[in-house]
Amino acid sequence: MTTLSELLAEHTRMQGETVDHLQRVVSEWQLLADMSFADFLLWVPLDESPEPDGANTSFRAADDVVRVRGGGRAVTEGRICRDDDPRWHLEVPVRRETIPVRRSGRTVAVLSRDTNLATPRVPSPLEIAYLGSASDLCQMIVDGTFPHSVPLGTTEGSPRAGDGLIRLDVHGNVAYASPNALSAYHRMGHASDVAGTELAVVTRRLVLDPFEAADVATKITEALEGKASPRMEIRGRRASMVVRSLPLRPRGDPAGALVLVRDVTDLRRRDMALLSKDATIREIHHRVKNNLQTVAALLRMQSRRSAHPEAARALEESVRRVTSIALVHEALAYSVAETVELDALLEKVLPAIRDGATAEARARVRVEGGFGTLPAGRATPLVLVLTELVHNALAHAYDQGESGEVVVSARRSAGWLEVVVADDGHGMPEGFDVETAQGLGLQIVRTLLTSELEATLRMGDRDGGGTEALIRLPLGGSPNGSG
C-alpha cells in the first residue's frame, strides 16, 4: 500500500516539515471522524502552492486528480466552507465541508468532511459534546495550531473518542463526561459523578504513584494553558487508565480542553498473565536442562566405570545426545519466545562433539552460512540430527591421527532451510545406502527427519573427495504444529 509520504514525494515538492504536519493530520483524523460523525478525506494540491483565483482547485487524493468543489473558497478565504446544496452519493444526501489545512500562514492541503444527512435526529448530549469539540479542533486546523507539534508516533495507542471523552471548561472543571469515561473513573475508584469537578484534582487523588499523580495533573492543567501532551498511563488501586489531554483554542481563544481516557485494566491483567506464563515456561526449560545435565553426568560416571569398551562408547554417545537436548532447553530458558537461535546454539554444540567424538581424529568443525531461528519443536530434532551427522563424519571419515575438516553449511530461503554436512575424508563405503544403514545414529537421523521435521536426507560422495549429507527442511510447518 502506498503511504502518504510516498504520494507526497511523487506528486508534490513539499518540504519535510510540511509532510510531517500532514502526517500528523492523518494520524488524528480518526479522532476527528469519530467526533464529527462524518468521513474525512485529505486533498493535496498538485503543486505546493494552489492558485488563489477563487475557482475550484485541482487536488490529488491517492491516484485520482479531481476538482474539489468549494476547495478554492476554503483556500483563498482561509476558512471552513460548506456547500450550499447537499450532494448525492449512492442515493444518500451528503453535506460537504472543506477545511483548509494551514501551516505557518499558508494553506498546504484541504480536508473534506462529508456528513450523511439521510437520518436527521435530535442530538444527544454526547453528540453535542462530540460535535462541539470536533468543530473546535477543525478550526484549530485552520489556525495551524492542530495537530500539535509532538513527535510522530507519540499518539500511537492513544485513546479514541469512543473509549472515553471528557470536555473541560476554561477553569478545568468537567463540562461533560461520556458514559465510558465516567465508567473508567469509577473503576479507578471515584465513586460519584465527575461533572462540575476539577478533573486535575480528582485524577490526582486516584493515582497510587505520587510522581504519576503529579505528572497527570500537570498535563491536564497544561492543556488548559494551550500545551498538548502525549498519552500517559496511570494506575489506581484496582485499575489502570490511559489519559491524553488536548487544548481547545479555536482562533486562539481559550475554550477549555479535551481529555481522552481509556480503561486498560483488563488489558494489563492479560499482559501480566502472559508475563507470568512466559516466566513459568522459562523456569520449566531451566529445570529440564538441569535434569538432563544430571542424567548426562550419571551416564558419564557409568561410562567411566564400565569394563566393556563398547558399552562405554554407547554410554558416551548417549551423553552427547542428552547434552545436545539440554543445550536447546538452556537456550529456551533465556528466551522470551519459544524460538531458538540456531547459530548461537551450534557454536556451543559442535565443538563439544568434536572434542568428544574420537581422540584419534584431529579434524576440525566449521559452520558456514546462517541458520536463523526455529521454533523449539523443530530446533531440538534438527540439532540432534546435526550432532549425529557431524559425529558420524568425525568417527568414520578419518583414520587415526589424520586431520581434516567437517563443514556444516546452511542456506535459508523464505520456504526452505538447506543444510549440508560435508567432510574431506575417505568417502562412503562401497554399497552404502543411507536408507538401509543399520547404525543407531543414522536410524535416529531418519526417524527425526521423517516424523518430526518432514525433511529429506540425501548422502553421497563429495566432489573432490569425502562425503556430503544434504538436509532439505520446509519452514512452513510441522506435524505437531510447532513450525
Q: How far is CA 214 from the centre of its chain?
A: 31
Q: Give the residue from 220, 19, 295 showing the smallest Cα distance to 303.
A: 295
The beta strand positions in 322-398, using DSSP E, are: 339-341, 364-368, 373-375
C-alpha span between 78 and 60 (Å, rounded): 19
User: DSSP readout, 288-337?
Assistant: HHHHHHHHHHHHHHHHHH-S-HHHHHHHHHHHHHHHHHHHHHHHHHT-SS
Identity of the residue numbered 160: R
C-alpha cell at 157: 495507542
CA dihedral 420, 421, 425, 430 (to 10 degrees): -80
- The Cα–Cα gap between 218 and 196 comes to 19
User: In 10 A of CB 66, how many CB atoms?
Assistant: 12
Q: What is the pLDDT along the chain (483 residues), one digit of tens a residue?
A: 567 777 777 777 778 788 888 888 888 888 999 999 998 988 887 654 444 333 334 344 433 333 344 456 778 788 898 887 777 777 778 888 999 999 888 888 889 898 888 776 678 999 999 999 999 999 999 999 998 876 555 556 689 999 999 999 999 999 999 999 999 999 999 999 999 999 999 999 999 999 999 999 999 999 999 998 888 999 998 899 999 999 999 999 999 999 999 999 988 888 777 767 777 777 877 888 888 889 888 888 888 888 888 888 788 878 877 887 787 777 777 665 677 788 888 887 777 666 555 544 567 888 888 888 888 788 888 888 888 888 888 878 887 777 888 899 998 887 889 999 999 888 888 878 878 787 878 888 888 888 888 899 998 888 888 899 999 998 865 444 444
**Which residues lie across from 409 on neighbouring strands?**
368, 420
pLDDT at position 272, please? Answer: 76
Predicted pLDDT at 70: 45
Range list of H helices, 116-251: 125-143, 179-188, 199-206, 210-224
- Give backbone dihedrals phi and psi of 381, rounded to 5 degrees, phi first: -65, -35
Q: For residue 126, what pLDDT is reported?
A: 93
Residue 227, judged by CB atoms within 10 A of its CB (0-12, 13-18, 19+), counts as middle
